Amino acid sequence: MKRFEDKVVAITGGGSGMGKLSCELFAAEGATVCVVDINPETAAATADGILAAGGRAKAWTVDITNEQAMERFFQDVVDTFGQIDVFFTVAGISPTGTAVTTSYEAFRKVVSLDMDSVFLGCKYAIPHMEKHGGGVILNLVGTYGIRPTPNKLGYAAAKAGALAITRSVAIDFARSNIRCNAICPGFVNTPLNTGFEGEARQRFLDTYQPAPFEIQAKDIADTALFLASDEARAITGQAIVVDGGTEASLYLNYKRPGKS
């Protein structure tokens, strides 16, 4: 039997990057996957790909910052599939700016998408999970939620808030058999980082990331599969860092042999 054969898994940001690959890998492990994205075409494309590969999936167009839409979404999932076992919030944005250069509107936008949506997901998934005996919530946070880098004020604030929500939920609902963890990637090769390629990307990785390879969406999706599985039953309230050692190192600035 595959790992998630009898599970219903919902993933936001399912139309692109880490969300899309997570949908595909959970489906390959037998899950019924609810592909959630604000973009109806990309959500449908992910679900169609899963169906074509023999898996089970359905696409949902949801703006995860809209409270009514989120409440309706979870009710729809339960009406359609009878339960929700795993909810993985992946969708997010990653703007730049300091306390001075970030407009209040831009600040509210990143907090709404990267933090409020995590609250709404927990608020409306948990009652259904409790009725069904438990569940797993995963939130894609990022190392910036632990420690910010320069010029990322709004993003760091939103992700730190998302991590705090993760820990609070883990504590409040552990006795309901609900686990809640954050996945904290470093730099991942996804469409979010389009435009930051070639030499500039290599220089960034050489400077900050000890592991000598690019972290891929699969590294994050594999982590999600483990955390959602029963093998991780004792892990809750944690920030699981998947960053090739970046967050562990100070002042790495690796120099290639033979280069000045």
Looking at the annotation, which residues are catalytic? 155
Selection from 60, 113, 93 nearest residue 190 by Cα: 93
What is the H or E stretch that residue 51 is in? helix 40-52
Cα 96 from Cα 101, distance rounded (Å): 9
Residue 135 found at the interface with ligand NAD (CB under 6 A):
no
- Minimum CB distance to ligand NAD smaller for 10 or for 113: 113
Cα 65 from Cα 47, distance rounded (Å): 22
Coil, strand or helix: which one is 191? helix
Among 4, 8, 9, 15, binds ligand NAD (CB under 6 A): 15
Q: Specify whether the CB–CB gap between 142 and 159 falls below 8 A.
A: yes
Among 10, 11, 18, 137, binds ligand NAD (CB under 6 A): 18
Q: Specify whether the CB–CB gap between 239 and 170 falls below 8 A.
A: no
Residue 121 found at the interface with ligand NAD (CB under 6 A):
no
DSSP 73-127: HHHHHHHHHS---EEEE-------B-TTTS-HHHHHHHHIIIIIHHHHHHHHHHH
- Minimum CB distance to ligand NAD smaller for 62 or for 165: 62
Residue 32 found at the interface with ligand NAD (CB under 6 A):
no
Among 8, 9, 12, 59, binds ligand NAD (CB under 6 A): 12
DSSP 230-254: GGGTT--S-EEEESTTGGG-SS---
Among 8, 185, 224, 225, binds ligand NAD (CB under 6 A): 185
Among 133, 191, 210, 212, binds ligand NAD (CB under 6 A): 191
- Minimum CB distance to ligand NAD smaller for 94 or for 177: 94
Find the shortest distance in angstroms from Cβ 161 to ligand NAD. Answer: 13
Site residues for ligand NAD, 136-175, by CB under 6 A, read 140, 142
Expressed in angstroms, the distance from the first to the final Cα of the chain is 54
When CB distances to ligand NAD are compared, the closest residue is 92
Residues that bind ligand NAD (CB under 6 A): 12-13, 15-19, 37-39, 42, 62-65, 90-92, 94, 113-114, 140, 142, 185, 187-188, 190-193
